[in-house]
């Protein structure tokens, strides 16, 4: 995909299998968000195809696609002062026709999503007054309420406090089981290392590495892509801390 002669995403191949939580990492401007938009079928690629359940995503009817796949923006506007509960309920729209009211099943999905994202205390609050982190949790709840098979989340933990970062990663981990799968863009490499089954590392629109977190986040890769030296620790609780620029 090219915009203004800049190749935003070039010759990328990415695969997401059922039951997987896959992380997409890389520096700012690497093309992670653009790739996520492409995968969600929100923008059309100049070349290449995206397959969802072995079908070309641009050929799947919009409503059917939105029942299977949910996309969570990095930061999105909330244009009218609806309550958090109403915004989360919007997640059920793909499953409803224009006049259909919410069924018990819909309500249960909404309640689950609100509880899972720790939004109970916010449910009656005006969504335009939320903090960045609260808004991210609400948008994630909206996506979960849709009960999709595939979740594409763009930096869902970037604005969150420590507790909610952990909660959200655990939630994504829990979501990515059975038939479900999740692709998540992350900047926190420690979290990516700890929670993701596999990682993709992007730089300047191209895929630099893919595979197990330990292989992808090697010292050489991090030096080459981020231009920093890091301290790493391991075991059950891996961490990666940047030390200095190279």
Partner 1 sequence: MKLSQAKLCTLLAIVALLLFIASVAIGRDSLPLLTALKDTLNGNDSVYAVILNQIRLPRALIALVAGATLGLCGAAMQGLLRNPLASPGLVGSASGAAFFAVLVLYFGTGMVPPYVLPVAGMFGALLATVLVYVLAGRDASVTTLILAGVAINALATAGMSLLLNLAPSPFAVRELVLWTLGDITDRSMNDFWLMLPTSLIGWAMLIGVGGKLDSLTLGERTAQSMGVNPVHLRWRIFIAVSLAVGAAVATVGMIGFIGLVVPHLLRPYVAHEPGRLLAASALGGACVLLAADIGVRLIPTDSPLKVGVLTALVGAPFFLHLIVRSRREYL
91/156 with CB nearer partner 1: 91
Binding site for partner 1 (CB under 8 A): 37, 40, 42, 62-63, 65-67, 69-71, 73, 76-83, 86-87, 90-91, 93-94, 96, 98-99, 139, 142, 146
Of 193, 150, 146, the residue nearest 169 (C-alpha): 193
The CB-of-39 to partner 1 minimum distance in angstroms stands at 11
Residue 114 to residue 91: CA distance in whole angstroms: 11
Question: By C-beta, is 72 or 222 nearer to partner 1?
Answer: 72
Return the residue matching tokens 């059975």: 178
Least CB distance to partner 1 at residue 8 (A)? 16
User: Smallest distance, Å, CB 192 to partner 1?
Assistant: 23
Report, in Å, the least distance between residue 150 CB and partner 1: 11
Shorter beta-carbon distance to partner 1: residue 37 or 176: 37
Smallest gap from residue 86 Cβ to partner 1 (A): 7
Complex with partner 1: residue 67 or 221, whichever CB lies closer: 67
């Amino acid at each position: 995909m090219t915009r203004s002669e800049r190749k935003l995403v070039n010759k990328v191949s990415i695969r997401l299998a059922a039951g997987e939580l896959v992380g997409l990492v890389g520096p700012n401007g690497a093309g992670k968000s653009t790739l996520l938009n492409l995968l969600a079928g929100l923008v059309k690629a100049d070349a290449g195809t995206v397959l969802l359940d072995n079908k070309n995503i641009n050929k799947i009817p919009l409503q059917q696609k939105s029942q299977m796949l949910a996309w969570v923006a990095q930061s999105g506007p909330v244009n009218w002062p609806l309550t958090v509960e109403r915004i989360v309920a919007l997640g059920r729209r793909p499953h409803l026709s224009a006049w259909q009211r919410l069924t018990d099943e819909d309500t249960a999905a909404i309640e689950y999503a609100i509880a899972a994202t720790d939004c109970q205390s916010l449910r009656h609050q005006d969504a335009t007054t939320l903090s960045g982190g609260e808004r991210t949790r609400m948008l994630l709840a909206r996506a979960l309420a849709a009960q999709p098979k595939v979740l594409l989340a763009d930096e869902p933990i970037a604005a969150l406090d420590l507790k909610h970062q952990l909660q959200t990663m655990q939630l994504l981990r829990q979501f990515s089981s059975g038939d479900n799968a999740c692709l998540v863009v992350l900047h926190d490499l420690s979290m990516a290392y700890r929670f993701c089954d596999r990682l993709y590392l992007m730089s300047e629109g191209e895929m630099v590495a893919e595979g197990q977190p330990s292989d992808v986040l090697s010292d050489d890769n991090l030096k080459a892509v981020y231009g920093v030296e890091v301290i790493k620790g391991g075991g059950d609780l891996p961490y990666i801390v940047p030390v200095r620029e190279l």
